[in-house]
């Protein structure tokens, strides 16, 4: 499944973070600037996300910081819920992603 973060693009960009989660929980993240791989484990409404290696990209400091904050928020999420095409990861920060259904 592929989903896109419900957020406005950063100034000077049309890019919005998205991630693809495979059948075995493997995840590919395309963030504001960086790219990363990770792994999701789901049991009921509990979720664990572990970040893998980041791709080395020349990111402006503001976008790099936003990427780091987004990955930290995903890593801190402990629960999740799905309502239709909306997937919400809940932790210290709530992140809402919309499933790409096209």
Burial status of residue 72 (CB atoms within 10 A of its CB: 0-12, 13-18, 19 or more): middle
Number of domains in the chain: 1
Q: Tell me the pTM.
A: 0.90
**Torsion sign across C-alpha atoms 30, 31, 36, 41:** negative
The boundaries of the domain holding residue 25 are: 2-99
Q: pLDDT tens, 32-83?
A: 999 999 999 999 999 999 998 888 789 899 999 999 999 999 999 999 999 9
Higher pLDDT, 94 or 13: 94
Find the CATH number of the domain harbouring 92.
Answer: 2.40.128.270
Q: pLDDT tens, 11-46?
A: 888 899 999 999 999 999 999 999 999 999 999 999
Place of tokens 């395309």: 30
Show the tokens assigned to 53.
Answer: 């290696």
């Amino acid at each position: 499944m592929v989903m896109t973060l419900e957020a406005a693009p950063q100034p000077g960009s049309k890019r919005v973070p998205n991630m693809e989660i495979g059948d075995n929980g493997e995840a590919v993240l395309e963030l504001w600037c960086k790219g990363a791989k990770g792994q999701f484990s789901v049991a009921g409404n509990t979720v664990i996300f572990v970040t893998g290696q980041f791709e080395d990209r020349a990111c402006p400091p503001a976008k790099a910081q936003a990427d780091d904050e987004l990955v930290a928020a995903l890593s801190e999420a402990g629960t999740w819920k799905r309502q239709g095409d909306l997937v919400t990861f809940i932790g210290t920060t709530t992140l809402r992603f919309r499933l790409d259904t096209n």
